[in-house]
Structure 1
Amino acid sequence: MSAGNSRAVDSNQQGPHDHLLSTVTRFRQDDRFRKPIAPFNQEAFAQVGRWLTGHENDWILDAGCGTGVSTCELARRFPDTLVVGVDRSEQRLRRQKTTPENARFVRADLVDFWRLAAAARWRPRAQYLLYPNPYPKKQQFKQRWHAHPVFPAIVGLGGQLVCRSNWALYVEELALALGLYGIDCTRTRVSTPEGLSAFERKYHASGQILWELRARLAPSDALAQDTRR
């Protein structure tokens, strides 16, 4: 593989955000996310539900799958498990021409998808969050998943959480956020050049340090709430 040319994450934030713990605590204590579910996302979720029938407690979520490279790779690595790749961009999803039989793509907003899955008491084997937009500027903090009101639904959905990022601070913040839920995690460097996603391969080729977080999330029926609130 030739050397990549991806720039490293540039941030004006040098450590965990000052409001991290207070923000995560507030959303944990009041997990009633009142934003209405969009009808489009309701229908997309229903379509996935029909495909997953009988497997709602043993599937893999590839959250923010982009062009679907990672979804297909996960499906190949876990041939006996159904893998769902979710992304909000139809244009990105259309770039994946060949899909394994145990994989499906759905165009939906992840915020609504996570909430609907938690409300339906689906229990994934694993949730993969591969190279999410880190929103590295300090003022963008609330756009990171662990600082978003949907975070309780992510945790409450359960399964093994696998997050990879080329920004160590993102992984550190996520670990701190999970700690407030009493969840332990491991953080390691990723060194496999083949990677799970196109981003990972590109960052690896660019000589960047890649980080992985793994945590076992305990499902919470308390989060199977009325999503209309």
Structure 2
Amino acid sequence: MKQERQADFSRPVTSNQAGVHPRLAQNLQRHLESEFKRPIAPHSQAAYAELAKSLSSSPRPLILDSFCGTGMSTAVLAARYPNHLIVGIDQSAHRLGKHVPASADNYLLLRANAEDIWQLLLKDGHRPTNHFLLYPNPWPKSKHLQRRIHGHASFATLLALGGAIEVRSNWQLYLEEFGMAMFLAGRFGVVAQIPNEPALTLFEEKYRLSGHPLWRYHSGPQ
């Protein structure tokens, strides 16, 4: 769900969708009424075995950083939450290969499908205290609703994991739509502009330098 970083400034998101998607509620209801049963990919299963070992050997509160890209945000969150285990998940070995190691020893990067890791954590009874989803690909075309996090069949799994959820984007409508999906599912949160603060990701840094307003959705723990 991530995009590759470009050296030049980024253009604002453009879309043929003017407001919250008209089929959001219908799409959400269908996913909430069915169980997400996509088979776990072998590389995700192997990555989860590493995570399960870490959770067993050193039990700590868990924070997820899904679609973490290069893992910059994972390292930043590890410094912010020193008593937690921060787990960054991304499906791209290329992006993870760009990670610059940090001094913190309380984070783990996994090359895996995030949705697979969500399923496995849920199955084994592990629940994150916080779940960060930072600058996902917005899929701005109206026809691509089901590729967005809140339009995907795995959204019910994300909800079941619980924890305080934070999503960031440079497209305000994406977060308003995410917030509406959360509200329809019985979870309440707030969309607000991000103040001028140190960037959590390379995308956040690039978008800020490009003059984009940056937004976040945040909900409390379930």
TM-score (ref. length: structure 1): 0.89
**Secondary structure of the structure 2 residue equivalent to 1:128:** strand
Determine which structure has greater relative contact order: mean sequence separation of CA pairs < 8 Å that are 6+ residues apart, divided by chain length.
1
Match of 1:11 in 2: 15
Matched, 1:29 2:54: no
- Contact 1:57–1:124 (CA<8 Å) still a contact in 2? no
Structure-2 change in CA distance of 1:56 and 1:146 (3 Å): farther
- Contact 2:60–2:84 (CA<8 Å) still a contact in 1? no
Between the aligned partners of 1:65 and 1:194, the Cα distance in structure 2 is 17
Q: Which is worse superposed, 137-146 or 91-100?
A: 91-100
- Please, which of 87, 92, 97 is the counterpart of residue 95 of structure 2? 92
Structure-2 change in CA distance of 1:214 and 1:91 (3 Å): same
Match of 1:205 in 2: 209
Structure 1: gaps spanning 5 or more residues: 219-229
| Deviation per residue, 1:129-173 (Å, 9 max, x gap) | 000000001111110010111001101101100000000111011
- Please, which of 36, 59, 63 is the counterpart of residue 60 of structure 1? 63
Match of 1:222 in 2: none
Between the aligned partners of 1:153 and 1:192, the Cα distance in structure 2 is 32
Aligned residues: CA RMSD:
1.4
Between the aligned partners of 1:56 and 1:187, the Cα distance in structure 2 is 33
| Deviation per residue, 1:8-64 (Å, 9 max, x gap) | 00111111111100011111122x123211222112111111112266671110000
Matched, 1:76 2:79: yes
**Secondary structure of the structure 2 residue equivalent to 1:86:** strand
- Please, which of 187, 193, 197 is the counterpart of residue 189 of structure 1? 193
% same residue: 38
- Contact 1:67–1:96 (CA<8 Å) still a contact in 2? yes
Structure-2 change in CA distance of 1:157 and 1:55 (3 Å): farther
Between the aligned partners of 1:49 and 1:92, the Cα distance in structure 2 is 23
Q: Which is worse superposed, 207-216 or 35-44?
A: 35-44
Residue 192 of structure 1 deviates from its aligned partner by 2.3
Between the aligned partners of 1:60 and 1:126, the Cα distance in structure 2 is 5
* Mapping 1:161-180, distance limit 5 Å: 161-180=165-184
- Contact 2:36–2:157 (CA<8 Å) still a contact in 1? no
Match of 1:151 in 2: 155
**Secondary structure of the structure 2 residue equivalent to 1:53:** helix
Structure-2 change in CA distance of 1:75 and 1:57 (3 Å): closer
Match of 1:121 in 2: 125
Between the aligned partners of 1:55 and 1:186, the Cα distance in structure 2 is 34
- Contact 2:43–2:111 (CA<8 Å) still a contact in 1? no
| Deviation per residue, 1:56-77 (Å, 9 max, x gap) | 6711100000001100100111
| Deviation per residue, 1:163-197 (Å, 9 max, x gap) | 00000111011111011121110111002242211
- Contact 1:57–1:122 (CA<8 Å) still a contact in 2? no
Between the aligned partners of 1:57 and 1:14, the Cα distance in structure 2 is 43
Amino acid aligned to 1:123: R
Between the aligned partners of 1:203 and 1:55, the Cα distance in structure 2 is 37
Amino acid aligned to 1:119: K
Amino acid aligned to 1:105: L
